[in-house]
Amino acid sequence: MSAPSDVKRSVRAFYDELGWRKRDAATYEDAARFEDLRPTSSEYIRDCYRRVKAHLAPQGHRLLDVASGPIQREEFLEYSEGYRSRVCVDLSMVALQHARERLGGRGLFVVGDITRLPFRDGAFDGVVSVHTIYHVPAEEQASAFRELHRSLATGKTAVVVYSWGKHSPLMFLFEAVPAKLLSLLRSLGRRSAPPGELNLYFQPQSQSWLKREVGSAMNVDVRIWRALSPAFMKRFVPGNALGRWWLRKIFAIEERMPHLLGRIGCYPMILIRK
């Protein structure tokens, strides 16, 4: 088992050397590897990202964005529209350099660790952390949640986009496809990392872990961010008008049943209220 410090170094190396490399003017390597970038899926993905802003205070002095990355999507810019400034924290200096280009004078940029944030208690009127904590060493993920809660002002909300990974019932059903079919699906479009290529640490926890390690200490509300994984979408959502129609229906179901889908879908949105 790797030490937490080794995991963090590997995550920083992945993003400094590979993840925040641009494939073209608009696409980072991170998104190209881990997201469904087809036009068919763009509306669904955009609307899922906009769910985050709906739960933040509409305005305030400072928004904290932990593991901000380079602010790679337009929807990310919207999160701080009503705030005087946005404080971006990331392990990666490369990410913060790109974020500075996006935010300019409206941003403050800090190289830091989500498990040890260098801010006073209650310093922020809003907190976001999107696709971050499941890359934190497993034994320190509860500390990451506690640090977000500590930094949040009383009466405000932090929004964490997390992954249940293999603990998602919907994705478990997908993985339970008979072995031969699953093997065939994996051979279509999934590229294995060549020897020596950087890999990204990924260790999602279960809902029972969240309830025990996080929910017992703070006010947590689990809702859906997105029910479907990129792998599932690429394999089963057709790249045409039918696919767009199907994803709109999925989004509408998520909106009607946010708590149920938050429990069984791939990516929950964990709201921390203080």
* Cα–Cα dist 172/254, whole Å: 18
Contact between 269 and 224 under an 8 Å Cβ cutoff? The reply is: yes
Domains of the chain listed by start with CATH number: 4-273 (3.40.50.150)
**What are 215-270's pLDDT values in tens digits?**
999 999 999 999 999 988 998 999 999 999 999 999 999 999 999 999 999 999 99
What is the model's pLDDT at position 193? 46
What is the model's pLDDT at position 1? 63
Question: Has residue 185 got a pLDDT over 80?
Answer: no
Q: What is the DSSP letter of 26?
A: S
Q: How sure is the predictor about 195, in pLDDT bands with cuts at 50, 70 and 90?
A: very low
Name residue 69's amino acid.
G
What is the rounded average pLDDT of the residues 61-80?
97
Q: How sure is the predictor about 198, in pLDDT bands with cuts at 50, 70 and 90?
A: low
Question: Has residue 137 got a pLDDT over 90?
Answer: yes
| Strands of the 126-130 sheet, one edge to the other | 107-111, 83-90, 60-66, 126-130, 157-161, 267-273, 219-226
* Cα–Cα dist 4/136, whole Å: 8
Question: Has residue 180 got a pLDDT over 80?
Answer: no
Between 177 and 145, the more confident residue is 145
Contact between 220 and 214 under an 8 Å Cβ cutoff? The reply is: yes
